[in-house]
Chain A
């Protein structure tokens, strides 16, 4: 599969993320709540994937592997949503329009299927970014 699709990304709160975050960001609950991208089934079809396939999401600043799921809250075609948190912030552009607030919502991303690749855990992503990841648990 080599198909790619360009979608408009937003990253916002969800109750799943809120509950899991209070349990702890290193828990499996937080991983499952936040390492997903919600996209319309039409867009999945255009991409040639079934739901629950891992995809690579790439923005102007970086990329992250997340699982594509059907929206829990309806997302129109063309729009994608990664819940706020560690995975979202791998691709959120830090540009602020001189207000201090990054572009958390409304930035273009390219999505491509990577069914054989694994999602990284929160610690691996954040510690990895700053050279502190030692692997394992």
Chain B
């Protein structure tokens, strides 16, 4: 009899839904049905079950083709590349668990690498603004139970986080929001009329790249001053109307996304969004949240801040201390200045998501991809190491976009012999220790299984 696994987490977007139900075949090997997920989540689980999954690492040969090698050989190759390079860059981590993020910390520190995650090209500017201006945020549970005014600024959850509105922000009935959508006012601020904008009560079609001015106009009218007849392509009356709704909230929520961080202004757009939230708190109760893209892209910010004191762009090459300075130690800038001499792509696809010039620079040096699937990065790598799919074949802790940790489950076994990201990084770490004739240091959390089992191996 096929069995249903309940409370399964979805390893795709930052909504990190943990209410999926998966029908698994008799032998526990195949995923038959996926319930509760959106179209993307559904595809993630079905794709994991596909028969063309890779089972062994592949090393590029002099003639340009790939040849299968063993995991031991792949571990050895990776350790040597990291040791040989002066400034290797280990980048990605949008799609893996916190256990792997913690394990890579040892590898990066030992080999003197730069450690960076996808926030570097997404919500990195939000971090900068948060460092400067604070982060009056809350959990998605509070949004569901309290929010009666919800602003989506430069984000399109209907496409990027398909269940966000139904699970947390617009449709659900909560403790103080028992009428669900009918009780909520929704405002969308976006240069396009996105699906999210269509769903909203008010859509302000801001002139692309002029978000800062519009934020500023809101702050100005909330403080009782006059504004010009049109700001950032929006008529004064429309701004006044939206400001009136925002002011009258019992609990207001501002969600912001790539529309703010990917364009002119970047961290300044987020900075003023936070200031607007602060202003709104003088007349109502308000909170703000970054729409983090991937199911555990909040994870490295948590894990590495705890390990190194910084959430991203962490330069460990100095050997004495961690150094973070986006613009200098950020992946794209490092690549464009040709400062890195080895690249490891893990849990993301830099081949598809970096500007192509950055990819070209990185490819001049050893290039390794760690990913369950074939992707653009894997197809231009020197070495591709397939791993288990986190959330499907490997359990682990993930941080949802509101920084709430969730334990994701394992639903089926990985293809035979395929190891996890965490196991891979532990093996690379041990190999680096062997090669450098040093003792591995495990600093495990209290009672953690890792220390006694593997120390001194």
Contacts and interface: CB of A to CB of B under 8 A. Distances in A.
Given A79-B192, A126-B379, A96 B332 contact: yes
Contact of B192 (A81, A86, A90, A97): A81
Nearest to B194: A73
Contact of B356 (A14, A19, A89, A97): A89
B209 interface: yes
Interface stretch (B156-164, B238-246, B247-255): B156-164
Contacts of A19: 39-40, 43
B40 A96 contact: no
B195 A94 contact: no
Interface string B345-362: 000010111111111100
B124 interface: yes
A99 B128 contact: yes
A133 B230 CA distance: 51
Interface string A116-137: 0000001101110110101000
Contact of B205 (A76, A84, A123, A125): A76
Contacts, number: 185
Contact of A100 (B44, B120, B264, B352): B120
A81 B194 CA distance: 12
B121 interface: yes
A101 B43 contact: no
Interface in B326-372: 326-327, 330-333, 335-336, 349, 351-360, 363
Contacts of B353: 84-85, 89
B304 interface: no
B105 interface: no
B263 A123 contact: no
Contacts of A99: 124-125, 128, 266-267, 326-327, 330
B261 interface: yes
B431 to A, nearest CB: 27
A13 B352 CA distance: 13
B289 interface: no
Interface in B237-292: 258-259, 261-264, 266-267
Interface of B: 12-13, 39-40, 43-44, 47, 64, 120-122, 124-125, 128, 156, 158-160, 162, 191-195, 197, 205, 208-209, 258-259, 261-264, 266-267, 293, 312-313, 326-327, 330-333, 335-336, 349, 351-360, 363, 373-376, 379-380
17 contacts: A13-B160, A15-B40, A24-B374, A62-B356, A74-B193, A75-B192, A76-B205, A93-B355, A96-B330, A98-B326, A99-B327, A100-B120, A100-B312, A100-B326, A102-B332, A106-B262, A130-B360
Q: Which 9 A-B pairs have the closest CB atoms?
A: A100-B330, A98-B327, A74-B193, A104-B262, A22-B43, A106-B263, A106-B209, A94-B355, A130-B363
